[in-house]
Amino acid sequence: MERRISIHEAGHAVAGRLVGLPSGDAFLDPPHAEFAIDQGAASVVALMGGAIGEVLHFGDYDATGIRVDWERAEERLAHLGYEDGGAALWAYTHDLLAPYAGLIKCLAVKLERDLVLDGAVVDRLIGFRG
């Protein structure tokens, strides 16, 4: 289960950074990732990034584990006027993260080892130069 959780949190971190949210840290104990949740569709993509990371690595996601993420995403989707239940952003997030599946796995291993994943590390590994 620890690998699934670390993949999930690393997925949040990578998705958030790829859509331009400020780097945040990810933690394994308790599991969570820090990123701006008030940045419109970018925040929804970051929220979906955890489940998409799981899909890329395991073929599915833990529905119980993403309950809070999905509740937050649904609130934002409604506020932004999305009427497709998030299907378009889900597909976008999947396509965005698919090329980074290996990086997500690498970051997950680092997260398991260190229990925290520094946002600056994510920036360096993605190649972000701010």
CATH code for position 91: 1.20.58.760
Q: Which residue has the tokens 């990371």?
A: 53
Stretch 64-81: mean pLDDT: 88
Q: Model confidence over 75-87: pLDDT tens digits?
A: 899 999 888 888 9
What pLDDT was estimated at residue 68? 87
Position 128 in a domain: no
CA pair distance 53, 48, nearest whole angstrom: 9
Residues of the domain holding 113: 2-123
Residue 13: Cβ within 10 Å count: 34
- What's the pTM? 0.92
The mean pLDDT value of the chain amounts to 91
CB 44 within 8 A of CB 73: yes
Total domains present in the chain = 1
Position 15 in a domain: yes
